[in-house]
C-alpha cells in the first residue's frame, strides 16, 4: 500500500518525465507554466525549467492530492489512477470519468464532476477491480475522442495518453 506522497512521486517520475514542449507549452515533470501560475502568478518559463523533481512532487501533492483529498479513496490503486488522470486533464473531467465508471459497475450517481462525499462513498463501496477497469476504459475513450476531433494537433500525444489510461495495472 502506498501513501499520497509515494503515489505522487511514482506518477511524476514514471509518467511525467523531465522537460518537454507539448500542446500546453514548456512542461517539466508535468507542470506547465499555466499550472505553475495558479500558485505563483509571476512564474515564468524559466521557473518551469528550473523545477526540481521534489518541487514538482510538492506542487502535484498540494494541487491534486490535498486539494481534492484523494486520500479519502480507500483503495490506493484507484486513488493513484484518479490522481494520475488529474495530472493531464481538468480534475473535474477526471471526476466525471470516475462517476461514469461508477455507473458502469451499477452505481446510480450524478455525473457532475464533483469529487465530494457522495462520490467518495460510492467509490469506497464499489468492487475495486471492476471500477478500476471501467475507469481505465473511460479514460481511454476520453483521450480517443479528443484525438478524433483534432488528430493533427493531438496525434503526437495519443499513444502516451492511452498508455496513461492503462498504466499501473491493478493487482490484488
Q: Is the pLDDT of residue 129 over 80?
A: yes
Residue 53 contacts residue 12 (beta carbons within 8 Å): yes
CA distance 16 to 123: 26
Q: pLDDT band for position 18 (50/70/90)?
A: low
Q: What is the DSSP track for 17-77?
A: -SEEEETTEEEETTEEHHHHHHH-TT--HHHHHT--HHHHHHHHIIIIIITTTGGG-SSHH
Q: Is the pLDDT of residue 98 over 90?
A: yes
Tens of pLDDT, residues 27-84: 899 898 888 888 899 999 999 999 999 999 999 999 999 999 999 999 999 999 999 9
- Give the up-direction half-sphere exposure of residue 114: CA atoms within 13 A in the CB hemisphere: 7
Alpha helical stretches, state H, 50-157: 53-60, 76-88, 91-104, 117-125, 128-149, 151-154
Tens of pLDDT, residues 140-152: 999 999 999 999 9
Residue 103 grid cell = 455507473
The pLDDT assigned to 21 comes to 61
What pTM value is reported for the model?
0.91
Burial class (CB in 10 A: 0-12, 13-18, 19+), 106: exposed
Residue 108 grid cell = 446510480
Least reliable range by pLDDT among 15-19, 56-60, 108-112, 166-170: 15-19
Amino acid at each position: 500500500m502506498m501513501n499520497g506522497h509515494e503515489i505522487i512521486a511514482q506518477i511524476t517520475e514514471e509518467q511525467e518525465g523531465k522537460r518537454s514542449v507539448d500542446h500546453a507549452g514548456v512542461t517539466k515533470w508535468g507542470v506547465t507554466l499555466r499550472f505553475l501560475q495558479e500558485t505563483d502568478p509571476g512564474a515564468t518559463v524559466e521557473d518551469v525549467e528550473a523545477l526540481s523533481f521534489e518541487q514538482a512532487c510538492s506542487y502535484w501533492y498540494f494541487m491534486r492530492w490535498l486539494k481534492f483529498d484523494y486520500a479519502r479513496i480507500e483503495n490506493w490503486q484507484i486513488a493513484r489512477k484518479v490522481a494520475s488522470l488529474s495530472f493531464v486533464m481538468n480534475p473535474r473531467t477526471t471526476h466525471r470519468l470516475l462517476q461514469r465508471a461508477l455507473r458502469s459497475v451499477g452505481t446510480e450517481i450524478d455525473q457532475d464532476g464533483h469529487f465530494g462525499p457522495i462520490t467518495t462513498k460510492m467509490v469506497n463501496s464499489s468492487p475495486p477491480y471492476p471500477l478500476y477497469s471501467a475507469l481505465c476504459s473511460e479514460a481511454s475513450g476520453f483521450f480517443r475522442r479528443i484525438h478524433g476531433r483534432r488528430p493533427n494537433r493531438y496525434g503526437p500525444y495519443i499513444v502516451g495518453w492511452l498508455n496513461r489510461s492503462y498504466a499501473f495495472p491493478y493487482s490484488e
